[in-house]
């Protein structure tokens, strides 16, 4: 089961752009097999990051994972062409990788649809207000 669909990519890219990224044979249409391969590669990358913390593939698919899959798949399509990568696509890819890394480390959850059912350990996270005054969830519970 894929985390994203061709329709998800079509919502992010113009028809002409998606044709340009996939149509190696000059047919003038989107090559669905190349789109599917880019999505599969993106999903394998997602699973690679998350398999240490979660059971993969993730089902049901949280919206944030769908978004990450789309960003990675579009990056994969640009990468295969060897053309100049638009800065926004590179930045979205880098943000997606940072997000996946934080999820894998348990620093970020996947929201309401987190299949692990456990948000990150916020009890140990504190905010330093200055000097040695650190506010944590435990200290706030006393008020």
Report the candidate in 41, 86, 46 with the shortest Cα–Cα distance to residue 64.
46
- What is residue 13's predicted lDDT score, i.e. its pLDDT? 95
Q: Is the pLDDT of residue 127 over 50?
A: no
CA distance 56 to 88: 28
CA distance 97 to 72: 9
pTM, to two decimals:
0.77
Task: Identify the burial level of 60 via C-beta atoms within 10 angstroms of its C-beta, where 0-12 means exposed, 13-18 middle and 19 or more buried.
Answer: exposed
Q: Tens digit of pLDDT for each residue in 31-90? A: 999 999 999 999 999 999 999 889 999 999 999 999 999 999 999 999 988 768 899 999
Do residues 103 and 50 make contact, with C-beta atoms less than 8 angstroms apart?
yes
Backbone dihedral angles phi then psi of residue 118, each to the nearest 5 degrees: -130, 115
| For residues 1-14, average pLDDT | 95
- Residue written as token pair 């789309």: 70
CA distance 89 to 119: 29
- What is residue 120's predicted lDDT score, i.e. its pLDDT? 45
CA 136 vs CA 54, 68, 93, 103: distances in Å: 27, 31, 33, 21
Q: Is the pLDDT of residue 8 over 90?
A: yes
């Amino acid at each position: 089961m894929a985390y994203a669909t061709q329709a998800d990519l079509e919502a992010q890219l113009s028809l002409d752009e998606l044709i340009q990224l996939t149509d190696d044979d000059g047919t003038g249409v989107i090559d669905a097999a190349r789109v599917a391969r880019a999505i599969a590669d993106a999903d394998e990358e997602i699973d690679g990051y998350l398999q240490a913390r979660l059971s993969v593939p993730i089902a049901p698919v949280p919206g944030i994972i769908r978004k990450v899959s789309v960003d990675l798949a579009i990056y994969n399509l640009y990468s295969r062409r060897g053309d100049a990568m638009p800065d926004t696509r590179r930045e979205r890819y880098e943000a997606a990788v940072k997000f996946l890394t934080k999820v894998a480390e348990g620093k970020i959850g996947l929201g309401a649809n987190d299949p692990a059912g456990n948000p990150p350990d916020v009890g140990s996270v504190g905010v330093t207000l200055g000097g040695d005054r650190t506010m944590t969830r435990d200290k706030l519970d006393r008020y």
